[in-house]
Amino acid sequence: MPRHMRTLAPPLCLETCSWDHGIDPQLGVPAIRGTITFKGEPPANTQWVVVVASRDFPPTDVIALSTSQSNHLDFNADSAQYEIEAPGLVSYAAIPVVWKAMGEPVIWSDVLGLYGASLSGGLSFPDTVHVTADAPVAIGIDFAADFAAVNRGAVLSVRISYEGSWPDNTELMGIAAYTEQPQSILDFISPAALNISLPTQVDEFDYRLATPSGKYRYVVVLWKARGTSIFAFKEIGVYETAPGSGVAGEVTVALGDTARGVDILVDLGRTR
């Protein structure tokens, strides 16, 4: 069966998981191992795909990410095995698959998949993987990577600027594009494009959001507090016709194009 016709959902585990697989006598350093199953077709501008181990989610330490990743995966295959030499005996909050475009900087929020639970509306939440002295090798960390996350035919190029202080209880940051402003919870969890892997504790962030071509009348930055419901995202910044206008702007992007200047000013005071 061709790869693009196959589907494989990642394992569901809505509670934090602890994996104790024993010691691998063939490996002298802590490690995380698994198999990635690819869905969809890789974009023509794919440079590489890697699996990384992040101590927090969303990730905040880019240097730590760059030193805790697998070798480049064979993304043209149906699946690929990976191994990450874990830099420490710690808990890893997220194991994502990261995609990089040719000629573009690494954008750590270009995530094809997460080890954990995938819910309706494109929301994915990671499970924790523990690498300990008693169990230094975590194996069977298998999940799916979907190229649809970065291969939707068009791109919104966004600069997000943050004002105010980051709340200590920040858990997730995201950005979503809607063809119309959501009027119900069903609308809210059904965006045309979504990513909830934006970094925190930054002053500004340049972001590429892969979307289907078309017109978007509502592009919004989302914030979620630690320990709240998966549906308890707050809208803390919207693309406007002019900064401070209070009127949502619309953007049209054609197939194969990038819509630039979709800049959003975020007031972190709206999280309270």
Segment 181-238, tens digit of pLDDT: 999 877 887 888 888 878 899 999 988 898 999 999 999 999 999 888 767 889 999 9
pLDDT digits (tens, 9 = 90+) for 121-159: 455 678 999 999 999 999 999 999 999 888 888 999 889
The ranges assigned to domains in the chain are 3-149, 154-271
CATH architecture of the region 154-271 = Sandwich (2.60)
DSSP secondary structure, 70-114, as one string? -PPP-TTSSEEEEEEE-SSSSEESB-EEEEEETTS---TT-EEEE
Which carries the bigger pLDDT value, residue 9 or residue 179?
179
Comparing 253 with 148, which gets the higher pLDDT? Answer: 253
Buried residues in 241-268 as b, exposed as e (16+ CB within 10 A): eeeeeeebbebebeeeeebeebbbbbeb
Residues 206/212/214/219 CA torsion (nearest 10 deg): -40
The CA-based angle 94-96-98, given to 5 degrees, is 145
Q: Region 34-38: what's the mean pLDDT? A: 97
Q: Does pLDDT of 73 surpass 80?
A: yes
Q: What is the mean pLDDT of residues 101-126?
A: 74
CA 64 to chain centre: 17
Give CA–CA dist 95/81, Å, rounded: 14
